[in-house]
Chains A and B, each alone.
Chain A
């Protein structure tokens, strides 16, 4: 039972990080209908900045710069490339982000080199003992930070002007523009926020406690696991992203323990497949209707 509780906490901790990433996909998809395959490389950009700067500036300042850097990288992708591909439709743009992802990932992996470092953490990395439970500190902190950020985002999305503009644009782009919503600004902020969330997520992902994958292809692959999270929640649902992240985190933690570590990633995808077969547009996604 204790193992189970512990797995639950670990799974939730991971799930919170996946939720941050999945939320990023969903925000970009809602605002622009583009699926951002380059999300994993934004994660690497943030992590790389922290890794390079933490010795000179200290971890906290480096982390802030990493988050800002990932956000700016996302903005740059949108402003320089996606905006200029006017002739292309959303699906082509999704493919375009694959090209971007290949380039950024190769470059970061090349720069980091063979060591595949961890980016470390400012807090004491000793596991916390609560009774018989041993909880990784990183995952506990990830859970708290994730919960705070996600709540803040969902509230902003619901009540702020920006949130209203975002939702209006997601509903109907032309109508929103006619009502005076600056669609270019909404798109830009969507990418900024998504990039920043990726920058926060990497602070937890590239640590020893999270998965043992350092800053490199391993972390990039973990970001890919957040894809099923966004999909099974429903690509256009912010709440779905959170639920999806938690489902994926728990699935991974439980199957790694009870089936096998190797199987855990396949398990995530299998759960997603089952959900998709039952609900083709995810748990909370809007069902597509075609009028004939």
Chain B
């Protein structure tokens, strides 16, 4: 068995070559347009299109969690299936920290300001990740993957038994309303408007999620391009070599786990706000914090191209977006209407699509969406510049023993 869980050959991004080229105007313009579209999305879909806004919010949840997992799996080479557990810890942590102490006698709520609660939930997830680090640091590859699976089962059990925190499986508990400096992310009358569109709860949450996602994105990009990212990749490629170059392997592995858990914690907070409810799963294979979600996040990372931060965002759009898209279709346009149970429901179809996407990506494009994107960008460059980019396989991974 190989040294660590080694993802398919996919360097995190086309190394330094991009900076030698003149600024890629297409890329800059595309980014600007994308940002404007994202900022104006509530206006574009209008007040009638809240369902689309919810869909887009869900993609951002997947993106934040997926970015965290791609750092761990793709950059640091540590396979983990524990993401749903950290989502659950994040969601419950936020509900407990921000929850109204007076709400119910059976539920614990500390009544902290929501922003403090969000940060607290993220820190809590990081600490839980740190607690698992001694195990994670000792194990490699598939052993770590299955070991991390135990956290999902543990989370299921804890969620069911500690109902003073989680609210229990039957009713759950309300997600505390997020508020920032007195501005509540809830419906209000009168609501402020942008171009005639009332900015109500869902619109406000969209901007909140967008901010969370952008912060996550840039933090992750920063980490990948910095010393931290280099140490992750060194550990992924060859632990022995990394050690001899002065990398503290156990500490780096633990750090990757902590950071990835913290991202998952934020995604968990977002999940609580999105569902407006914190409710632990009833079983291990379906639900918000279940094995299905563990696989979905892994699919995000694989489809995106292991280790690529932009890839994880695209992967999230495919995996999380498609599922919501099919659900939306079934609710609004009567798709899959003849499929009551045991038919091609939205969940079944989206599972087929991303299951097939995993298979196809690994068969034909191990670098995932990120490699496809890089190839498209490379093609646009002037042909007289010999491109070293062959679709994410620029650096042959022959450094492995």
Residues of A within 8 A of B (CB): 33, 35, 81, 84-85, 87-96, 98-103, 106-107, 110-114, 217-218, 220-221, 224, 227-228, 231, 235-236, 262-263, 265-266, 268-270, 272-273, 276-277, 280-282, 288, 290-292
Asked if A102 and B358 make an inter-chain contact with CB atoms under 8 angstroms apart, the answer reads yes
Q: How far is the CA of A90 from the CA of B398 in the complex (A)?
A: 15
Closest 5 interchain pairs by CB? A99-B358, A269-B150, A113-B342, A102-B355, A103-B355
Q: How far is the CA of A66 from the CA of B180 in the complex (A)?
A: 59
What's the least CB distance linking A118 to chain B, in Å? 17
Asked if B342 and A112 make an inter-chain contact with CB atoms under 8 angstroms apart, the answer reads yes
In the complex, whether B139 has a CB less than 8 A from a CB of chain A is yes
Q: How far is the CA of A110 from the CA of B341 in the complex (A)?
A: 8
Asked if A99 and B154 make an inter-chain contact with CB atoms under 8 angstroms apart, the answer reads no
Asked if A96 and B359 make an inter-chain contact with CB atoms under 8 angstroms apart, the answer reads yes
In the complex, whether B3 has a CB less than 8 A from a CB of chain A is yes
Q: Which residues of B contact A235 (CB under 8 A)?
A: 1, 142-143
When A81-B363, A220-B285 are in contact, do A269 and B153 touch as well, CB less than 8 Å? yes
User: What does the 1/0 interface line of B120-153 toward A look like (CB < 8 Å)?
Assistant: 0000000000000011001111110011011001
User: What does the 1/0 interface line of B139-177 toward A look like (CB < 8 Å)?
Assistant: 111110011011001101100110000000000000000
Closest B residue to A111 by beta carbon equals B342
When A265-B153, A288-B1 are in contact, do A102 and B362 touch as well, CB less than 8 Å? no
Q: How far is the CA of A158 from the CA of B234 in the complex (A)?
A: 41
Closest B residue to A93 by beta carbon equals B362
Q: Which of A112, A220, A281 meets B143, CB within 8 Å? A: A281
Q: How far is the CA of A113 from the CA of B401 in the complex (A)?
A: 48
When A85-B363, A91-B6 are in contact, do A113 and B341 touch as well, CB less than 8 Å? yes
What's the least CB distance linking A166 to chain B, in Å? 17
Q: Which residues of A contact B79 (CB under 8 A)?
A: 91
User: What does the 1/0 interface line of B287-329 toward A look like (CB < 8 Å)?
Assistant: 0000100010011001000000000000000000000000000
Of B210-218, B346-354, B369-377, the segment with at least 4 beta carbons within 8 Å of chain A is B346-354
Q: Which residues of B contact A98 (CB under 8 A)?
A: 295, 298-299, 358
What's the least CB distance linking A225 to chain B, in Å? 9
In the complex, whether B107 has a CB less than 8 A from a CB of chain A is no
Q: How far is the CA of A220 from the CA of B134 in the complex (A)?
A: 30
Main secondary structure of the interface of B (DSSP, over half): helix
Query: What would 7 A/B residue contacts be, using CB atoms closer than 8 Å?
Result: A88-B362, A98-B298, A106-B355, A235-B1, A235-B143, A272-B150, A290-B240
What's the least CB distance linking B141 to chain A, in Å? 7
In the complex, whether B187 has a CB less than 8 A from a CB of chain A is no
Q: How far is the CA of A85 from the CA of B361 in the complex (A)?
A: 10
When A276-B139, A290-B401 are in contact, do A262 and B358 touch as well, CB less than 8 Å? no
What's the least CB distance linking A291 to chain B, in Å? 7
Q: Which residues of A contact B345 (CB under 8 A)?
A: 110
Q: Which of A99, A263, A272 meets B355, CB within 8 Å? A: A99
Q: Which residues of B contact A102 (CB under 8 A)?
A: 295, 299, 351-352, 354-355, 358
What's the least CB distance linking B248 to chain A, in Å? 16
Asked if A262 and B342 make an inter-chain contact with CB atoms under 8 angstroms apart, the answer reads no
Asked if B135 and A290 make an inter-chain contact with CB atoms under 8 angstroms apart, the answer reads no
When A266-B154, A276-B135 are in contact, do A35 and B140 touch as well, CB less than 8 Å? no
Q: Which residues of A contact B15 (CB under 8 A)?
A: none
User: What does the 1/0 interface line of B178-204 toward A look like (CB < 8 Å)?
Assistant: 000000000000000000000000000
Q: Which residues of A contact B366 (CB under 8 A)?
A: 87-88, 92
What's the least CB distance linking A264 to chain B, in Å? 9
Asked if A262 and B134 make an inter-chain contact with CB atoms under 8 angstroms apart, the answer reads no
Q: How far is the CA of A277 from the CA of B136 in the complex (A)?
A: 9
Q: Which residues of A contact B232 (CB under 8 A)?
A: none
Asked if A276 and B153 make an inter-chain contact with CB atoms under 8 angstroms apart, the answer reads no
Q: Which residues of A contact B143 (CB under 8 A)?
A: 231, 235, 276, 280-282
Asked if B153 and A89 make an inter-chain contact with CB atoms under 8 angstroms apart, the answer reads no
The residue among B138, B150, B160, B161 with the most chain A CB atoms within 10 A of its own CB is B150
Q: A91-B2, A263-B157, A265-B156 are in contact. List 5 more A-B contacts (CB 8 A).
A: A88-B8, A102-B355, A103-B355, A221-B283, A281-B143
Q: Which residues of B contact A35 (CB under 8 A)?
A: 142
In the complex, whether B225 has a CB less than 8 A from a CB of chain A is no
Asked if A217 and B286 make an inter-chain contact with CB atoms under 8 angstroms apart, the answer reads yes
When A93-B362, A292-B240 are in contact, do A280 and B138 touch as well, CB less than 8 Å? yes
What's the least CB distance linking B321 to chain A, in Å? 17
Q: Which residues of A contact B358 (CB under 8 A)?
A: 95-96, 98-99, 102
When A224-B291, A288-B1 are in contact, do A103 and B352 touch as well, CB less than 8 Å? yes
Q: Which residues of A contact B356 (CB under 8 A)?
A: 99, 103
The residue among B8, B302, B348, B401 with the most chain A CB atoms within 10 A of its own CB is B8
The residue among B284, B285, B366 with the most chain A CB atoms within 10 A of its own CB is B285
Asked if A99 and B359 make an inter-chain contact with CB atoms under 8 angstroms apart, the answer reads yes
In the complex, whether B239 has a CB less than 8 A from a CB of chain A is yes
Q: How far is the CA of A95 from the CA of B141 in the complex (A)?
A: 12
Asked if B298 and A277 make an inter-chain contact with CB atoms under 8 angstroms apart, the answer reads no
Asked if A217 and B285 make an inter-chain contact with CB atoms under 8 angstroms apart, the answer reads yes
In the complex, whether B343 has a CB less than 8 A from a CB of chain A is yes
When A91-B79, A290-B401 are in contact, do A265 and B147 touch as well, CB less than 8 Å? no
In the complex, whether B335 has a CB less than 8 A from a CB of chain A is no
Q: Which residues of B contact A263 (CB under 8 A)?
A: 157
In the complex, whether B255 has a CB less than 8 A from a CB of chain A is no
Asked if B140 and A95 make an inter-chain contact with CB atoms under 8 angstroms apart, the answer reads no
In the complex, whether B65 has a CB less than 8 A from a CB of chain A is no
Closest A residue to B342 by beta carbon equals A113
Q: How far is the CA of A185 from the CA of B362 in the complex (A)?
A: 24
Q: Which residues of A contact B161 (CB under 8 A)?
A: 262
In the complex, whether B344 has a CB less than 8 A from a CB of chain A is yes
Q: Which residues of A contact B19 (CB under 8 A)?
A: none
Q: How far is the CA of A292 from the CA of B284 in the complex (A)?
A: 42
In the complex, whether B62 has a CB less than 8 A from a CB of chain A is no
